[in-house]
Amino acid sequence: MRDLQSEADPRGVPIERVGIRGLTRPMMVMSKDGSPVPSVGTFSVFTDLPMNLRGTHMSRLAELASSWEGRVPCPRSAEEFLRSLIEALDARRGGMKVKFPYFVPKRSPVTDLPGVLQVQASVKAELDVEDPAGGLRFFLSVTTPVLTLCPCSKEISRFGAHNQRASVRIRVRSMDMIWIEELVEMAERNASSPLYPILKRRDERFVTESSYERPRFVEDLARDCALELKKHPAVRGFSVKVTSFESIHRHDAVAEVIG
């Protein structure tokens, strides 16, 4: 049977990235306490393609992504996958991105009722086997829902202050293990309050009063997370993006720090 992908291409144009996107499959994610957390991952996988080849082997990419049982979010496990990918496709560079929901156990603050908080996470890894600097670039991104209460609203009002849900996306570059839970906890402790899956009346009162005592602009939240990340020994680069879904405005408030 004729193999069109392996035929020579006369145009002399190399391709930087070619592959598949949107492959969805069940997966397990490593938790900080050692237990695996079931999830569903959406995979993107690619390699480079030299100028002399017409096409890549898409089925091999899909096969490797479908069968991978790596340790997410471990950088070394991602590197193992990329090396097998590059070898199978006879490439120089390879990359992957996996997006998935992750579930963090969370108990209500007063009544101590068990619940599960969903956050959004992704890992991205790229490897160049001919790079003398080592080649692997690994990123972990976690978006955590929190609550913010406006300092200005509290300052100018006799009663109360507007508050709302917000999201904190923390993206780190590292070659060492950083747990998803670490980034969730960082976002929560710098916000006006965490969000809780289950709230009874006593819990709701606690969240309302404690957030009032801890007002935060999006700028405050972004800066405080950035300061923690700068001190983290495993972080080689980062970005923090805070989006507040304003309850009294038609627009959102956004702040971002890149370090």
Q: Where are the domains of the chain?
A: 15-258
Residues whose CB falls within 8 Å of the CB of residue 98, separated by 6 or more in sequence, listed in order = 27, 41, 42, 43, 44, 72, 122, 123, 124
At 7 the pLDDT is 65
Q: How far apart are the first and last CA of the chain?
A: 52
Contact 30, 38 (CB under 8 A): no
> What is the torsional sign of CA 169, 174, 179, 185?
negative
| Three-state secondary structure call for residue 238 | strand
> What is the torsional sign of CA 149, 220, 99, 32?
negative
Q: How far is CA 155 from CA 173, 205, 217, 238, in A?
A: 38, 21, 12, 32
- Tell me the residue type at 200: K
Contact 121, 103 (CB under 8 A): no
Contact 183, 142 (CB under 8 A): yes
**pTM tops 0.85, yes or no:** yes
At 5 the pLDDT is 67
120 bridge partner residues:
101, 143
At 153 the pLDDT is 96
Whether omega for the bond prior to residue 73 falls within 30 degrees of 0, making it cis, is yes
- Residue 73's φ and ψ, nearest 5 degrees, are -105, 60
At 132 the pLDDT is 77
Digits of tens for pLDDT over the chain (259 positions)? 766 666 677 898 999 999 999 999 999 999 999 999 999 999 999 999 999 888 888 999 999 999 998 889 999 999 999 999 999 999 999 999 999 999 999 999 999 999 999 999 999 999 999 887 778 999 999 999 999 999 999 999 999 999 999 999 999 999 999 999 999 999 999 999 999 999 999 999 999 999 999 999 999 999 999 999 999 999 999 999 999 999 999 999 999 999 9
At 158 the pLDDT is 94
At 192 the pLDDT is 99
- In 3D space, the residue among 126, 120, 212, 202 whose CA is nearest the CA of residue 161 turns out to be 212
Task: State the Cα–Cα distance between residues 170 and 155, nearest whole angstrom.
Answer: 29
Domain spanning 15-258 has what CATH number? 3.10.270.10
Contact 239, 164 (CB under 8 A): no
- Which class for 91: exposed (0-12), middle (13-18), buried (19 or more C-beta within 10 A)? buried
